[in-house]
């Protein structure tokens, strides 16, 4: 999730975690990372939606409608509208909420699979939101934060066990994010960011990657690995330093892109994306973006995307939202990129409260209007 959500407003796997803390020898046989071949020239282009909030929204009284105004399963609405990828976040043991834990994620993946939609599973490796300003370690792993080998086993075993459990139910994702907006060093003690320690960071990231590779090999399933950085300009330095420190065995560069918080506009972002694709021979996807279709607030929860989110040439209207998404999609394609995911398009105003307010902080930037019908922006999912 983008950093501004928490800046402005701001798995229940405990048993597995304990096992991870005391098991240093459970890793599978070493795999050859050089066997990962990425076809950056693939013509496949994903159009996706992060639907992590949906289960909670429905429990809070939200009903979604199709374009005809008929109430319908929201996963079906997206699939039939042209979306072919569902992104879902996973927190380790979020005791402050009943959502985005393992059970909730399993439900979301099942709903996606029911519509033959591929899945991108986003491991946050935290009990709460992580972003470019904080990468807080799960509470269960805090006792071994300074024991790097055991901490490495923790991230490996947790990642492997989650995927194995999903495999047992035929719910393996097609892609896995090893971390969320990992501009900072992962698994830190608190929200006061420590300086980047690349030997530590690369060791831990490679442990998470290896868990995905090992499970993929054992189950004979192709699961692609993504590393996710917030904003294209940060991708330029981050992936350079990552490569220099031995983090190379991944398939996807994932980026958050919100132009009002980036130095690049939609008109000049394509060369930056192409640079990343060409330099690292990886596929690239924008996995988080959004644009307001209105500046009105449907509830008492302050909207994150206000007037400061507007960019020249794109009004806060349904037509403006669609233009933004179509132009961004074209920029990604021009660069040779392979996908675009809208962040939380179904986080509608509802009867529940967040930690910061009553309702939704995103109700003016979803892909549904205040009557729960798709906005014009939803049409960006149509293939062209």
CB atoms within 10 A of CB 72: 15
Measure the CA–CA gap between 7 and 2, rounded to whole angstroms: 9
Question: What is the DSSP code (8-state) at residue 252?
Answer: E
Catalytic site residue from 56, 106, 288, 344? 288
Measure the CA–CA gap between 370 and 297, rounded to whole angstroms: 10
Contacts by 306-311, CB closer than 8 A, 24 or more apart = 308/260, 309/258, 309/260, 309/365, 310/260, 311/259, 311/260, 311/265, 311/266
CB atoms within 10 A of CB 83: 26
Measure the CA–CA gap between 152 and 270, rounded to whole angstroms: 36
Report residue 165 CA to chain centroid gap.
20
- Element of type H or E holding 118: strand 118-123
List C-alpha distances in Å: 36 to 48, 160, 229, 248, 250: 24, 18, 21, 10, 7
Catalytic site residue from 68, 181, 241, 344? 181
SS3 assignment, position 239: helix
SS3 assignment, position 331: helix
Assess whether 288 carries a catalytic annotation. Answer: yes
Measure the CA–CA gap between 186 and 179, rounded to whole angstroms: 8
Active site members: 181, 288
């Amino acid at each position: 999730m983008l950093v501004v959500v928490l800046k402005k407003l701001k798995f229940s796997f405990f048993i597995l975690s304990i096992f991870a803390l005391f098991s240093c020898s459970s890793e599978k046989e070493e795999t050859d990372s050089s066997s990962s071949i990425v076809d950056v020239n693939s013509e496949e282009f994903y159009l996706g939606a992060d639907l992590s909030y949906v289960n909670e929204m429905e429990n809070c009284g939200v009903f979604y409608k199709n374009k005809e105004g008929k109430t319908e399963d929201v996963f079906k609405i997206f699939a039939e509208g042209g979306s072919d990828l569902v992104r879902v976040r996973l927190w380790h043991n979020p005791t402050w909420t009943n959502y985005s834990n393992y059970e909730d994620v399993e439900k979301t993946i099942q709903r996606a699979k029911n519509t033959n939609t591929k899945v991108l599973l986003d491991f946050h490796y935290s009990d709460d939101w992580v972003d470019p300003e904080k990468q807080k370690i799960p509470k269960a792993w805090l006792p071994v934060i300074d024991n790097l080998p055991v901490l490495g086993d923790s991230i490996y075993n947790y990642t492997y066990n989650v995927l194995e459990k999903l495999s047992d139910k035929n719910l393996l994702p097609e892609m896995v994010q090893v971390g969320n907006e990992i501009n900072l060093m992962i698994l830190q003690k608190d929200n006061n960011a420590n300086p980047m320690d690349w030997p530590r960071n690369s060791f831990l990231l490679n442990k998470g990657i290896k868990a995905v590779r090992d499970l993929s090999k054992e189950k004979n399933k192709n699961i692609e690995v993504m590393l996710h950085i917030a904003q294209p300009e940060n991708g330029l330095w981050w992936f350079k330093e990552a490569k220099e420190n031995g983090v190379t065995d991944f398939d996807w560069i994932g980026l958050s892109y919100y132009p009002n918080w980036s130095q690049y506009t939609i008109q000049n972002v394509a060369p930056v994306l192409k640079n990343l694709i060409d330099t690292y021979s990886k596929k690239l996807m924008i996995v988080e973006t959004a644009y307001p279709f209105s500046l009105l607030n449907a509830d008492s929860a302050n909207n994150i995307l206000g007037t400061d989110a507007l960019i020249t040439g794109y009004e806060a209207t349904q037509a403006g939202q669609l233009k933004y998404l179509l132009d961004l999609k074209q920029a990604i394609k021009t660069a040779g990129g392979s996908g675009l995911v809208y962040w939380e398009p179904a986080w509608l105003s509802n009867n529940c409260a967040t930690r910061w307010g009553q309702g939704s902080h995103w109700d003016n930037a979803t892909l549904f209007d205040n009557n729960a019908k798709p906005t014009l922006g939803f049409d960006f999912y149509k293939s062209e």
